[in-house]
Amino acid sequence: MGQRGSGEGAMKRKHRIIRAYADVKRRYWCDVRVFDTDAQMHRDIKRATREHPGKDCAGMVSEAKRRGTGLFAIMWLNVEDLAGKPTEICAHEATHAAIRYFERRGWTTCMALESQMARHEDAERRHEEKLAYAVGRLTRGVVNGLHRIKVFG
What pLDDT is attached to residue 67? 79
What pLDDT is attached to residue 143? 92
Three-state secondary-structure class, residue 32:
strand
pLDDT of the chain, 153 residues: tens digit per residue: 343 333 444 456 689 999 999 999 999 999 999 999 999 999 999 999 999 999 889 999 999 988 789 999 999 999 999 998 888 899 999 999 998 999 899 887 655 555 455 455 566 566 766 877 889 889 989 999 999 999 987
The 29-35 sheet, strands edge to edge = 16-21, 29-35, 71-78, 59-63
Three-state secondary-structure class, residue 69:
coil
Q: Is 90 exposed, middle or buried (0-12, 13-18, 19+ CB in 10 A)?
A: buried
Closest to 139 in 3D by CA, of 44, 83, 61? 61
What pLDDT is attached to residue 10? 45
Q: What distances in angstroms separate CA 133 from CA 22, 50, 100, 126, 140, one per listed residue? A: 8, 31, 14, 11, 10
What pLDDT is attached to residue 126? 67
Predicted TM-score (pTM) of the model is 0.75
Q: What distances in angstroms separate CA 51 from CA 33, 43, 100, 133, 135, one per listed residue? A: 16, 10, 17, 29, 24
DSSP-derived secondary structure for 77-106? EEHHHHTT-HHHHHHHHHHHHHHHHHHHHT
